[in-house]
Structure 1
Protein backbone atom coordinates (compact mmCIF):
# COMPACT_ATOMS: atom_id res chain seq x y z
CA UNK A 1 0.00 0.00 0.00
CA UNK A 2 1.34 3.41 -0.92
CA UNK A 3 2.23 5.65 2.00
CA UNK A 4 -0.28 8.54 2.22
CA UNK A 5 2.61 10.99 2.50
CA UNK A 6 4.15 9.84 -0.77
CA UNK A 7 4.06 12.21 -3.71
CA UNK A 8 0.78 11.68 -5.57
CA UNK A 9 1.66 12.95 -9.04
CA UNK A 10 4.68 12.26 -11.24
CA UNK A 11 7.13 15.14 -11.43
CA UNK A 12 8.30 14.67 -15.02
CA UNK A 13 7.78 18.23 -16.23
CA UNK A 14 8.51 20.39 -13.22
CA UNK A 15 11.56 18.61 -11.74
CA UNK A 16 13.08 15.74 -13.71
CA UNK A 17 15.59 15.13 -10.93
CA UNK A 18 12.76 14.15 -8.58
CA UNK A 19 11.41 11.32 -10.74
CA UNK A 20 13.65 8.77 -9.05
CA UNK A 21 15.98 9.58 -6.14
CA UNK A 22 18.39 7.79 -3.87
CA UNK A 23 18.06 8.40 -0.15
CA UNK A 24 20.74 8.22 2.55
CA UNK A 25 20.91 8.65 6.30
CA UNK A 26 23.22 7.74 9.18
CA UNK A 27 22.62 7.39 12.90
CA UNK A 28 25.84 7.79 14.82
CA UNK A 29 27.64 7.97 18.16
CA UNK A 30 27.57 11.79 18.17
CA UNK A 31 27.70 14.96 16.12
CA UNK A 32 31.45 15.39 15.54
CA UNK A 33 31.97 14.37 11.92
CA UNK A 34 35.70 13.87 12.43
CA UNK A 35 35.53 11.65 15.52
CA UNK A 36 32.10 10.01 15.79
CA UNK A 37 31.15 6.68 14.25
CA UNK A 38 28.35 5.09 12.25
CA UNK A 39 25.84 2.99 14.21
CA UNK A 40 23.09 2.48 11.61
CA UNK A 41 22.78 3.42 7.94
CA UNK A 42 20.20 3.35 5.20
CA UNK A 43 20.57 3.69 1.45
CA UNK A 44 17.50 3.33 -0.73
CA UNK A 45 15.65 4.49 -3.84
CA UNK A 46 12.26 6.17 -4.21
CA UNK A 47 10.25 6.26 -7.42
CA UNK A 48 8.38 9.31 -8.72
CA UNK A 49 5.46 8.58 -6.38
CA UNK A 50 7.71 8.45 -3.30
CA UNK A 51 7.40 4.69 -3.02
CA UNK A 52 10.41 2.68 -1.82
CA UNK A 53 11.68 0.51 -4.67
CA UNK A 54 15.11 -0.39 -3.31
CA UNK A 55 16.60 -0.40 0.18
CA UNK A 56 19.54 -1.57 2.24
CA UNK A 57 20.06 -1.19 5.99
CA UNK A 58 23.09 -1.67 8.18
CA UNK A 59 23.79 -2.00 11.92
CA UNK A 60 27.45 -1.56 12.84
CA UNK A 61 29.47 -2.25 15.92
CA UNK A 62 31.23 1.13 15.91
CA UNK A 63 34.12 -0.18 18.01
CA UNK A 64 33.60 2.51 20.66
CA UNK A 65 31.09 3.13 23.42
CA UNK A 66 27.80 4.64 22.23
CA UNK A 67 27.08 7.54 24.60
CA UNK A 68 23.81 7.32 26.49
CA UNK A 69 22.63 10.55 24.92
CA UNK A 70 23.09 9.18 21.41
CA UNK A 71 21.50 5.85 22.33
CA UNK A 72 18.50 7.70 23.74
CA UNK A 73 18.01 9.36 20.35
CA UNK A 74 18.36 6.40 17.98
CA UNK A 75 17.68 3.52 20.36
CA UNK A 76 20.88 1.52 19.81
CA UNK A 77 22.93 0.76 22.90
CA UNK A 78 26.58 -0.27 22.99
CA UNK A 79 25.54 -3.75 24.11
CA UNK A 80 23.06 -4.15 21.26
CA UNK A 81 25.55 -2.92 18.67
CA UNK A 82 28.23 -5.29 19.94
CA UNK A 83 25.87 -8.25 20.00
CA UNK A 84 24.13 -7.69 16.67
CA UNK A 85 26.20 -5.20 14.66
CA UNK A 86 28.65 -6.05 11.92
CA UNK A 87 32.27 -4.96 11.77
CA UNK A 88 32.49 -1.22 11.18
CA UNK A 89 34.95 -1.50 8.29
CA UNK A 90 32.60 -3.83 6.40
CA UNK A 91 29.61 -1.56 6.97
CA UNK A 92 31.49 1.57 5.88
CA UNK A 93 32.75 -0.15 2.72
CA UNK A 94 29.25 -1.37 1.81
CA UNK A 95 27.59 2.00 2.44
CA UNK A 96 30.18 3.77 0.29
CA UNK A 97 29.74 1.14 -2.44
CA UNK A 98 25.94 1.46 -2.36
CA UNK A 99 26.10 5.23 -2.71
CA UNK A 100 28.73 5.03 -5.43
CA UNK A 101 26.47 2.68 -7.39
CA UNK A 102 23.60 5.17 -7.22
CA UNK A 103 25.80 8.05 -8.37
CA UNK A 104 27.28 5.90 -11.15
CA UNK A 105 23.73 5.13 -12.28
CA UNK A 106 23.05 8.87 -12.54
CA UNK A 107 20.67 9.08 -9.58
CA UNK A 108 20.73 12.07 -7.26
CA UNK A 109 20.97 11.10 -3.59
CA UNK A 110 18.86 12.93 -1.03
CA UNK A 111 20.25 13.45 2.47
CA UNK A 112 18.86 15.87 5.04
CA UNK A 113 21.68 18.10 6.27
CA UNK A 114 23.85 16.29 3.77
CA UNK A 115 27.13 17.84 4.85
CA UNK A 116 26.86 15.99 8.16
CA UNK A 117 26.25 12.51 6.74
CA UNK A 118 28.65 12.74 3.82
CA UNK A 119 31.38 14.33 5.96
CA UNK A 120 31.14 11.72 8.69
CA UNK A 121 31.11 8.95 6.08
CA UNK A 122 34.26 10.41 4.49
CA UNK A 123 36.07 10.37 7.83
CA UNK A 124 34.88 6.84 8.54
CA UNK A 125 36.15 5.73 5.14
CA UNK A 126 39.56 7.24 5.86
CA UNK A 127 39.59 5.62 9.32
CA UNK A 128 38.95 2.15 7.90
CA UNK A 129 41.04 2.36 4.74
CA UNK A 130 38.02 2.50 2.41
CA UNK A 131 38.27 4.42 -0.86
CA UNK A 132 36.01 7.41 -0.13
CA UNK A 133 33.42 9.05 -2.30
CA UNK A 134 35.36 11.80 -4.01
CA UNK A 135 33.16 14.85 -4.64
CA UNK A 136 29.88 12.91 -4.28
CA UNK A 137 27.09 14.12 -6.48
CA UNK A 138 24.55 14.98 -7.45
CA UNK A 139 23.35 15.41 -3.88
CA UNK A 140 19.98 16.89 -2.94
CA UNK A 141 19.65 18.41 0.53
CA UNK A 142 16.07 19.26 1.53
CA UNK A 143 17.36 21.41 4.40
CA UNK A 144 19.29 23.63 2.01
CA UNK A 145 16.41 23.63 -0.50
CA UNK A 146 13.78 24.52 2.09
CA UNK A 147 15.83 27.45 3.37
CA UNK A 148 16.38 28.63 -0.20
CA UNK A 149 12.77 28.50 -1.38
CA UNK A 150 11.09 29.59 1.88
CA UNK A 151 13.77 31.67 3.54
CA UNK A 152 11.63 33.75 5.88
CA UNK A 153 9.38 31.03 7.28
CA UNK A 154 9.61 31.07 11.07
CA UNK A 155 10.27 28.03 13.19
CA UNK A 156 12.70 25.16 13.39
CA UNK A 157 14.03 23.37 10.32
CA UNK A 158 14.51 19.93 11.86
CA UNK A 159 13.44 17.01 9.70
CA UNK A 160 10.34 16.28 11.78
CA UNK A 161 9.17 19.90 11.60
CA UNK A 162 9.90 20.29 7.89
CA UNK A 163 8.29 16.92 7.11
CA UNK A 164 5.10 18.04 8.84
CA UNK A 165 5.20 21.35 6.95
CA UNK A 166 5.23 19.51 3.61
CA UNK A 167 2.69 16.89 4.67
CA UNK A 168 5.17 14.03 4.82
CA UNK A 169 4.61 11.36 7.46
CA UNK A 170 7.70 10.64 9.57
CA UNK A 171 7.23 7.60 11.76
CA UNK A 172 10.23 6.56 13.84
CA UNK A 173 12.26 9.77 13.68
CA UNK A 174 16.00 9.25 14.26
CA UNK A 175 15.81 5.78 12.73
CA UNK A 176 18.00 5.78 9.64
CA UNK A 177 15.51 4.31 7.16
CA UNK A 178 12.59 6.43 8.39
CA UNK A 179 14.64 9.62 8.24
CA UNK A 180 16.11 8.82 4.82
CA UNK A 181 12.73 8.00 3.27
CA UNK A 182 11.05 11.05 4.80
CA UNK A 183 13.87 13.28 3.52
CA UNK A 184 13.42 11.89 0.02
CA UNK A 185 9.70 12.59 0.11
CA UNK A 186 10.29 16.10 1.45
CA UNK A 187 12.64 16.74 -1.48
CA UNK A 188 9.96 15.53 -3.88
CA UNK A 189 7.34 17.68 -2.13
CA UNK A 190 9.60 20.72 -2.48
CA UNK A 191 10.02 19.87 -6.17
CA UNK A 192 6.26 19.63 -6.55
CA UNK A 193 5.63 22.96 -4.83
CA UNK A 194 8.66 24.99 -5.89
CA UNK A 195 10.00 23.21 -8.96
CA UNK A 196 9.44 26.31 -11.07
CA UNK A 197 12.04 28.13 -8.93
CA UNK A 198 14.68 25.41 -8.96
CA UNK A 199 17.09 24.10 -11.61
CA UNK A 200 15.48 21.20 -13.43
CA UNK A 201 18.57 19.01 -13.71
CA UNK A 202 20.20 17.36 -10.71
CA UNK A 203 23.75 18.47 -11.54
CA UNK A 204 22.68 22.12 -11.83
CA UNK A 205 20.72 21.87 -8.58
CA UNK A 206 23.75 20.33 -6.85
CA UNK A 207 25.92 23.25 -7.94
CA UNK A 208 23.29 25.78 -6.84
CA UNK A 209 23.14 24.23 -3.38
CA UNK A 210 26.88 24.79 -2.90
CA UNK A 211 26.30 28.53 -3.08
CA UNK A 212 23.06 28.45 -1.11
CA UNK A 213 24.64 26.45 1.72
CA UNK A 214 27.52 28.94 1.91
CA UNK A 215 25.14 31.91 2.04
CA UNK A 216 22.94 30.23 4.64
CA UNK A 217 25.99 29.55 6.83
CA UNK A 218 27.05 33.19 6.54
CA UNK A 219 23.59 34.34 7.64
CA UNK A 220 23.59 31.84 10.51
CA UNK A 221 27.04 33.05 11.58
CA UNK A 222 25.79 36.64 11.73
CA UNK A 223 22.75 35.59 13.78
CA UNK A 224 24.77 33.48 16.24
CA UNK A 225 27.26 36.30 16.78
CA UNK A 226 24.41 38.75 17.33
CA UNK A 227 22.81 36.59 20.04
CA UNK A 228 26.16 35.75 21.64
CA UNK A 229 26.24 32.09 20.66
CA UNK A 230 29.45 32.54 18.64
CA UNK A 231 32.53 34.66 19.20
CA UNK A 232 32.84 37.57 16.73
CA UNK A 233 35.72 35.87 14.93
CA UNK A 234 34.01 32.46 14.66
CA UNK A 235 32.13 31.12 11.63
CA UNK A 236 29.64 28.40 10.76
CA UNK A 237 31.19 26.10 8.15
CA UNK A 238 29.08 26.31 5.00
CA UNK A 239 31.11 23.85 2.93
CA UNK A 240 28.70 21.46 1.18
CA UNK A 241 28.17 18.54 0.67
CA UNK A 242 31.44 17.44 2.35
CA UNK A 243 33.16 19.65 4.88
Structure 2
Protein backbone atom coordinates (compact mmCIF):
# COMPACT_ATOMS: atom_id res chain seq x y z
CA UNK A 1 0.00 0.00 0.00
CA UNK A 2 1.36 3.39 -1.00
CA UNK A 3 2.00 5.79 1.88
CA UNK A 4 -0.11 8.94 1.75
CA UNK A 5 2.86 11.24 1.21
CA UNK A 6 3.99 9.23 -1.81
CA UNK A 7 0.70 9.89 -3.57
CA UNK A 8 -0.76 13.04 -5.05
CA UNK A 9 -1.01 16.04 -2.70
CA UNK A 10 -3.15 19.16 -3.06
CA UNK A 11 -1.31 22.18 -1.72
CA UNK A 12 -3.42 25.21 -0.79
CA UNK A 13 -2.44 28.71 0.23
CA UNK A 14 -3.98 32.17 0.45
CA UNK A 15 -2.56 35.66 0.70
CA UNK A 16 -5.01 38.08 2.25
CA UNK A 17 -5.75 41.64 3.35
CA UNK A 18 -5.02 40.69 6.96
CA UNK A 19 -5.26 37.98 9.62
CA UNK A 20 -8.87 38.40 10.77
CA UNK A 21 -10.63 35.36 9.29
CA UNK A 22 -14.05 36.85 9.91
CA UNK A 23 -13.49 40.21 8.23
CA UNK A 24 -10.40 40.17 6.00
CA UNK A 25 -10.46 39.14 2.34
CA UNK A 26 -8.60 36.92 -0.09
CA UNK A 27 -6.11 38.62 -2.43
CA UNK A 28 -4.32 35.68 -4.07
CA UNK A 29 -4.80 31.94 -3.93
CA UNK A 30 -3.14 28.80 -5.21
CA UNK A 31 -4.24 25.19 -5.48
CA UNK A 32 -1.38 22.97 -6.59
CA UNK A 33 -1.36 19.24 -7.28
CA UNK A 34 2.05 17.67 -6.91
CA UNK A 35 3.76 14.36 -6.24
CA UNK A 36 2.56 10.88 -7.01
CA UNK A 37 4.97 10.56 -9.91
CA UNK A 38 3.08 13.04 -12.06
CA UNK A 39 3.86 16.57 -13.21
CA UNK A 40 2.98 19.45 -10.89
CA UNK A 41 -0.22 21.29 -11.83
CA UNK A 42 -0.75 24.74 -10.36
CA UNK A 43 -3.71 27.10 -10.55
CA UNK A 44 -3.42 30.62 -9.19
CA UNK A 45 -5.86 33.47 -8.81
CA UNK A 46 -5.71 37.17 -7.98
CA UNK A 47 -8.88 38.77 -6.67
CA UNK A 48 -10.04 42.32 -6.37
CA UNK A 49 -11.11 41.99 -2.72
CA UNK A 50 -13.41 44.99 -2.92
CA UNK A 51 -11.68 46.65 0.03
CA UNK A 52 -8.42 48.49 0.54
CA UNK A 53 -5.37 46.27 0.99
CA UNK A 54 -3.46 47.63 4.01
CA UNK A 55 0.09 48.70 3.34
CA UNK A 56 1.43 46.13 5.79
CA UNK A 57 -0.30 43.28 3.97
CA UNK A 58 0.85 44.58 0.59
CA UNK A 59 4.43 44.61 1.84
CA UNK A 60 4.13 40.93 2.74
CA UNK A 61 2.63 39.57 -0.48
CA UNK A 62 3.41 42.38 -2.94
CA UNK A 63 -0.16 43.06 -4.12
CA UNK A 64 -1.32 46.66 -3.71
CA UNK A 65 -4.91 47.86 -3.83
CA UNK A 66 -4.25 49.46 -7.21
CA UNK A 67 -2.81 46.28 -8.67
CA UNK A 68 -5.63 44.12 -7.32
CA UNK A 69 -8.20 46.48 -8.82
CA UNK A 70 -6.53 46.53 -12.23
CA UNK A 71 -5.40 42.89 -12.50
CA UNK A 72 -7.65 41.02 -10.10
CA UNK A 73 -10.87 39.25 -10.97
CA UNK A 74 -14.14 39.72 -9.07
CA UNK A 75 -13.82 38.22 -5.61
CA UNK A 76 -16.96 36.08 -5.92
CA UNK A 77 -15.67 34.53 -9.14
CA UNK A 78 -12.28 33.75 -7.59
CA UNK A 79 -13.80 32.25 -4.45
CA UNK A 80 -16.13 30.04 -6.47
CA UNK A 81 -13.27 28.74 -8.61
CA UNK A 82 -10.95 28.12 -5.65
CA UNK A 83 -13.67 26.18 -3.83
CA UNK A 84 -14.37 24.16 -6.99
CA UNK A 85 -10.68 23.36 -7.47
CA UNK A 86 -10.28 22.19 -3.89
CA UNK A 87 -13.50 20.20 -3.99
CA UNK A 88 -12.29 18.40 -7.11
CA UNK A 89 -9.06 17.45 -5.34
CA UNK A 90 -10.82 16.31 -2.17
CA UNK A 91 -13.41 14.23 -4.00
CA UNK A 92 -10.58 12.59 -5.95
CA UNK A 93 -9.13 11.43 -2.63
CA UNK A 94 -6.26 13.91 -2.33
CA UNK A 95 -5.34 15.37 1.05
CA UNK A 96 -5.30 19.17 1.27
CA UNK A 97 -1.89 20.30 2.51
CA UNK A 98 -2.09 23.75 4.08
CA UNK A 99 0.29 25.51 6.44
CA UNK A 100 -1.78 26.74 9.39
CA UNK A 101 -4.85 25.24 7.75
CA UNK A 102 -7.33 26.70 10.21
CA UNK A 103 -6.54 30.17 8.89
CA UNK A 104 -6.74 29.46 5.17
CA UNK A 105 -9.73 27.13 5.27
CA UNK A 106 -11.68 29.39 7.62
CA UNK A 107 -10.92 32.43 5.46
CA UNK A 108 -12.13 30.57 2.36
CA UNK A 109 -15.25 29.44 4.18
CA UNK A 110 -16.16 32.98 5.23
CA UNK A 111 -15.48 34.38 1.78
CA UNK A 112 -17.73 31.72 0.26
CA UNK A 113 -20.55 32.61 2.61
CA UNK A 114 -19.97 36.33 2.01
CA UNK A 115 -20.32 35.92 -1.75
CA UNK A 116 -23.11 33.34 -1.84
CA UNK A 117 -20.82 30.47 -2.90
CA UNK A 118 -21.46 26.97 -1.58
CA UNK A 119 -18.76 26.44 1.09
CA UNK A 120 -16.20 23.68 0.62
CA UNK A 121 -17.32 21.77 3.70
CA UNK A 122 -20.90 21.68 2.41
CA UNK A 123 -19.67 20.11 -0.84
CA UNK A 124 -17.20 17.53 0.46
CA UNK A 125 -18.28 16.91 4.06
CA UNK A 126 -16.21 14.30 5.85
CA UNK A 127 -14.18 13.60 2.70
CA UNK A 128 -12.03 16.64 3.60
CA UNK A 129 -8.73 15.29 4.90
CA UNK A 130 -6.09 17.87 5.75
CA UNK A 131 -2.36 17.74 6.40
CA UNK A 132 -0.99 20.77 8.26
CA UNK A 133 2.83 21.01 8.40
CA UNK A 134 2.57 23.49 11.30
CA UNK A 135 0.62 21.04 13.45
CA UNK A 136 2.84 18.11 12.46
CA UNK A 137 6.04 20.01 13.21
CA UNK A 138 4.86 21.07 16.65
CA UNK A 139 3.93 17.48 17.42
CA UNK A 140 7.18 15.84 16.28
CA UNK A 141 9.55 18.54 17.59
CA UNK A 142 7.70 20.44 20.34
CA UNK A 143 10.71 21.85 22.15
CA UNK A 144 12.68 23.24 19.23
CA UNK A 145 13.47 26.89 19.78
CA UNK A 146 12.80 29.59 17.20
CA UNK A 147 9.98 30.47 14.87
CA UNK A 148 7.57 28.07 13.21
CA UNK A 149 6.42 30.03 10.20
CA UNK A 150 6.67 28.37 6.80
CA UNK A 151 10.06 29.89 6.06
CA UNK A 152 11.33 28.58 9.43
CA UNK A 153 10.08 25.07 8.67
CA UNK A 154 11.65 25.21 5.23
CA UNK A 155 15.01 25.96 6.81
CA UNK A 156 14.56 23.23 9.43
CA UNK A 157 13.58 20.56 6.90
CA UNK A 158 15.87 21.81 4.14
CA UNK A 159 13.09 22.66 1.70
CA UNK A 160 13.71 25.37 -0.91
CA UNK A 161 11.33 28.32 -0.71
CA UNK A 162 11.47 30.61 -3.72
CA UNK A 163 9.19 33.62 -3.55
CA UNK A 164 7.99 33.33 0.05
CA UNK A 165 4.55 34.87 0.61
CA UNK A 166 3.41 34.24 -2.91
CA UNK A 167 0.54 31.77 -2.75
CA UNK A 168 1.97 29.34 -5.31
CA UNK A 169 5.44 29.17 -3.74
CA UNK A 170 4.00 28.70 -0.27
CA UNK A 171 1.57 25.98 -1.37
CA UNK A 172 4.31 23.91 -2.98
CA UNK A 173 6.69 24.45 -0.06
CA UNK A 174 4.02 23.29 2.42
CA UNK A 175 3.69 20.02 0.48
CA UNK A 176 7.45 19.53 0.53
CA UNK A 177 7.66 20.17 4.27
CA UNK A 178 4.83 17.70 4.92
CA UNK A 179 6.67 15.14 2.78
CA UNK A 180 9.89 15.68 4.73
CA UNK A 181 8.16 15.28 8.09
CA UNK A 182 6.44 12.10 6.92
CA UNK A 183 9.73 10.59 5.79
CA UNK A 184 11.39 11.42 9.10
CA UNK A 185 8.60 10.35 11.47
CA UNK A 186 7.43 6.78 10.93
CA UNK A 187 4.22 7.22 12.89
CA UNK A 188 3.09 10.06 10.63
CA UNK A 189 4.37 8.53 7.42
CA UNK A 190 2.68 5.16 7.98
CA UNK A 191 -0.65 6.57 9.20
CA UNK A 192 -3.77 6.46 7.08
CA UNK A 193 -5.01 9.89 6.02
CA UNK A 194 -8.16 9.51 8.09
CA UNK A 195 -6.16 8.61 11.20
CA UNK A 196 -3.67 11.41 10.60
CA UNK A 197 -6.49 13.92 10.19
CA UNK A 198 -8.08 12.81 13.45
CA UNK A 199 -4.76 12.99 15.27
CA UNK A 200 -4.20 16.53 14.04
CA UNK A 201 -7.60 17.62 15.36
CA UNK A 202 -6.42 16.52 18.80
CA UNK A 203 -2.87 17.81 18.43
CA UNK A 204 -4.01 21.21 17.19
CA UNK A 205 -6.36 21.58 20.15
CA UNK A 206 -3.62 20.64 22.61
CA UNK A 207 -1.19 23.05 20.95
CA UNK A 208 -3.70 25.89 21.03
CA UNK A 209 -4.60 25.23 24.64
CA UNK A 210 -0.91 25.29 25.55
CA UNK A 211 -0.47 28.62 23.75
CA UNK A 212 -3.56 30.04 25.44
CA UNK A 213 -2.23 28.98 28.85
CA UNK A 214 1.14 30.58 28.05
CA UNK A 215 -0.50 33.88 27.14
CA UNK A 216 -2.70 33.78 30.25
CA UNK A 217 0.27 33.50 32.59
CA UNK A 218 2.62 35.87 30.75
CA UNK A 219 2.57 39.51 31.93
CA UNK A 220 1.48 41.82 29.12
CA UNK A 221 0.03 38.99 27.01
CA UNK A 222 -2.94 37.97 29.14
CA UNK A 223 -5.46 39.59 26.79
CA UNK A 224 -4.17 37.49 23.88
CA UNK A 225 -5.43 34.29 25.51
CA UNK A 226 -9.05 35.03 24.62
CA UNK A 227 -8.20 35.20 20.92
CA UNK A 228 -6.71 31.71 20.70
CA UNK A 229 -8.99 29.29 18.86
CA UNK A 230 -8.67 25.54 19.22
CA UNK A 231 -10.70 24.31 16.25
CA UNK A 232 -8.93 22.60 13.35
CA UNK A 233 -8.85 22.41 10.32
CA UNK A 234 -11.27 25.36 10.28
CA UNK A 235 -13.52 27.31 12.62
CA UNK A 236 -17.16 26.34 12.00
CA UNK A 237 -19.22 29.35 10.90
CA UNK A 238 -21.95 28.77 13.45
CA UNK A 239 -19.39 29.19 16.21
CA UNK A 240 -17.65 32.22 14.76
CA UNK A 241 -16.91 34.64 17.55
CA UNK A 242 -18.12 32.15 20.16
CA UNK A 243 -16.38 30.22 22.87
CA UNK A 244 -13.55 28.20 21.42
CA UNK A 245 -13.06 26.00 24.42
Fold match by TM threshold 0.5: yes
- The answer to whether structure 1 residue 191 and structure 2 residue 179 are counterparts is no
Matched-pair contact (CA < 8 Å) for 2:4–2:189: no
Match of 1:152 in 2: 143
Equivalent of 1:34 in 22, 31, 35: 22
Structure with the higher fraction of residues in helix conformation: 2
Q: How far apart are the structure 2 equivalents of 1:192 and 1:17?
A: 8
The yes-or-no answer on 1:91 pairing with 2:82 is no
Are the counterparts in 1 of residues 53 and 64 from structure 2 also a CA contact under 8 Å? yes
Give, in angstroms, the shift of residue 200 of structure 1: 1.7
Match of 1:109 in 2: 96
CA distance in 2, matches of 1:18, 1:221: 35
Give 1:236's match in structure 2, choosing from 215, 220, 228: 228
Structure 1 match to 2:213 = 222
Out of 169, 178, 190, the residue aligned to residue 169 of structure 2 is 178
- Structure 1 length-normalised TM: 0.90
CA distance in 1, matches of 2:90, 2:28: 21
Q: Is the 8 A contact 1:18 1:187 kept in 2?
A: no
C-alpha separation in 2, matches of 1:132 and 1:38? 15
Structure 1 gap segments, 5+ residues each: 1-11
Contact 1:17 1:200 in 2 (8 A): no
Provide the aligned length of Structure 1 versus Structure 2.
230
The answer (yes or no) to whether the contact 2:48–2:75 under 8 Å persists in 1 is yes
**1:48 CA drift (Å):** 4.0
RMSD: 1.7
- In the other structure, the counterpart of 1:7 is none
Tell me how far apart the structure 2 counterparts of residues 87 and 240 of structure 1 sit (CA, whole Å): 29
> More deviation in 60-69 or 233-242?
233-242
Question: In structure 1, what is the equivalent of residue 202 of structure 2?
Answer: 211
CA distance in 2, matches of 1:86, 1:197: 39
CA positional deviation for 1:234: 2.8
Q: Normalising by structure 2, what TM-score?
A: 0.89
Distance 2:154 2:224 in 1: 33
How far residue 46 of structure 1 moved from its aligned partner, in angstroms, is 1.1
Runs of 4+ with >2 A deviation: 15-19, 195-199, 230-235
Match of residue 5 from structure 1: none
Closer/same/farther in 2, CA of residues 233 and 167 from structure 1, 3 Å limit = closer
The question of whether the paired residues in 1 share the 8 Å contact of 2:188 and 2:196 is answered with: no
Residue 167 (str. 1) matches residue 179 (str. 2): no
Distance of aligned partners of 1:209 and 1:128 in 2 relative to their CA distance in 1, 3 Å threshold: same
